[in-house]
Structure formats: structure tokens, C-alpha cells
Structure 1
Amino acid sequence: MGSNESLENLLRSGVLKAEPPDRKECEGLMRSALDRLKDAHTCTLSFSSRFDLAYNAAHALALTALRLSGYRSDKRYLVFQSLIHTTQSSKVQVRLFALCHERRNLAEYEGYMDEDDALLEQLLESTSRLLSDVQHRMN
């Protein structure tokens, strides 16, 4: 099944909405992602701040990729799952973002944050790769 067909199936099921890309919105999301990713590399910040910044940078990039493809979703997890269809992201990267989404939810809604430096480094690396991919698509 092709990427467009997969996204169209998600549209038909109601979990995605069709919406033409908005260049200004995408540029704003990219600025937000760039700022957050840069700040996430600040080692003097707490782990939870760095994780939150990196996670939100990844989400902004994933949402940009989805918007550039002509879709929108109000489900954060779906924005990440759609990366396999909107970018060159591998299944491994998508699983990493899904894990980070779960960790973010635990911190946000249950107050539990497991400080995992290796996971943060993987998140930073995968987000940087995603940034390159999305920047290429913006041009």
C-alpha cells in the first residue's frame, strides 16, 4: 500500500482531516522546532526540560510533514505514526517517537519521568534527522 493510499485510508476512517498546506503555518512550526531543538541541546537544563523541548521539536516537525502532505490530525500519536508516510523516517525512528510520546504522557499526566540519558540522545539524534528531511520538503 502506497503512502498516499495509507493516508487516504486514515482520512476515510476519520482520524485525519484533509486540509491544504499553509506555508505560513509550516514556517512557524519549523521556527518552533528549530528553537526547541537548539535549546534541548543545552546541557545545563534539567533532563525533563531537555526531553520536553526535544519531544515538542519532534512533534512540530512531524506535524509540519503531515501538513505539507495536505492533512491534519488532532491526535499527537497519529502525527508521529504518519511519519512513515510523510517522510523518509524508518519504522525504528517512528517507534522511538512513539516511545517518547508514551514517556511524555507519563510525565505530563502522571508526574512520572524516568531519566534515561540514552533515550534523550536518541531522541535528539532522530529529531535532527527529521529536521533535515522536513527542511528538504519545505524547499
Structure 2
Amino acid sequence: MGSNESLENLVRSGGLKVEPPERKECEGLMHSATARLKDAQTTSLSFASRFDLAYNAAHAIALTALRLSGYRSDKRYLVFQCLVHTVDANKLQVRLFALCHERRNLAEYEGYMDEDEALLVQLLESTSQLLIRVQEQMTEL
């Protein structure tokens, strides 16, 4: 999976909580993520809606990966940072999700949304790849 030592360090610092995975919760998160990812590919929707759907799908999948590893976090950005340890994601993918998190926060809290179609395409592709990896992990639960 990933580096339990790094995740345990985050527990000690208060970023993560140890909590055994719960099948029903993980299935619900993955169901939500799959529906959102599908809807995010609907080109007739606005950019803002598609981005929001794709971002929230990515977050739900990343949270599922964290939950499958036996942890929980209240910090959205940390869920993405932990992907290096929960699904062996590469740092480029984590940076992409972190950038999308920043863009989401700008839109959510400051009302600013930069319509970057290339970023949305990358988000959709990375989220689709993440979905496959976490679905594989779900079979082990």
C-alpha cells in the first residue's frame, strides 16, 4: 500500500485519526465519486459545475483510499497529500490534486473561477486513474 510510518507520523501530529475502514461508508463514497465523475464529463454543463463535480469525485476517491488504509482526516488537502502513501500515487498527481484544491477554494470562498479547460482534462484523467486503483483496493476490504 504505502508508508504506514508516514501516516502514523500524521496521526501523532493530529492530522489524521486512526479509524478502521467501514465497508458501507467506502461503498457510499465510491458510488458518489463514480456518479460525480460521470456527470463531470457532461460537456453541456458549465465549466464551474464540471470542475466542482470532478474535484469532489477526486476527493471522495482519495478519502476512500485513506479510509481503506484505516485513517480519517478532517483536512481536505491532507486527504490528497496522503495519496502517495495510500495508493502509491506519484507526486505529479498529488500536485495536480493540490492545485485543484486551491482552485476549488478560490471559487468556494472568494468567488473566483479561472476557466482552465486543460486543467479540467487533467483532473478528469487523474481522477479516472485514481478510481480504478481504489476500486481494486475495495476488493480487498
Answer yes or no: same fold by TM over 0.5: yes
Residues in 1 aligned to 2:119 and 2:15: alpha-carbon distance in whole angstroms: 29
TM (norm. structure 2) is 0.97
What is the aligned partner in structure 2 of residue 134 from structure 1?
A: 134
Cα distance in 1 for residues equivalent to 2:67 and 2:29: 10
Give the superposition deviation at 1:89: 1.1
| Displacement after TM superposition at 1:44 (Å) | 0.1
Number of equivalent positions: 138
Q: What corresponds to 1:103 in structure 2?
A: 103
Q: 2-side partners of 1:60 and 1:96: how far apart?
A: 16
Cα separation, 1, equivalents of 2:88 and 2:53: 22
| 1:17 match | 17
Helix, strand or coil: the match of 1:45? Answer: coil
Cross-structure match for 1:81: 81
Given that 1:59 and 1:80 are in contact with CA atoms closer than 8 Å, whether structure 2 keeps it comes out as: yes
- Tell me which residue corresponds to 1:114: 114
Equivalent residue for 1:26?
Answer: 26
Note the residue ranges of structure 2 that are not aligned, 5 or more in a row: none
Stretches of 4+ aligned residues off by more than 2 angstroms:
none
In 2, Cα distance between equivalents of 1:89 and 1:128: 13
Aligned Cα root-mean-square deviation (Å): 0.7
Structure 1 unaligned residues grouped into runs of 5+: none
**Partner in structure 1 of residue 6 of structure 2:** 6
Letter paired with 1:111: G
CA distance in 2: counterparts of 1:63 and 1:72, whole angstroms: 8
CA contact (8 A) 1:20 1:70 kept: yes
Whether the 8 Å contact between 1:88 and 1:133 is mirrored in structure 2 is: no
Amino acid at match of 1:41: Q
TM-score normalized by the length of structure 1: 0.98
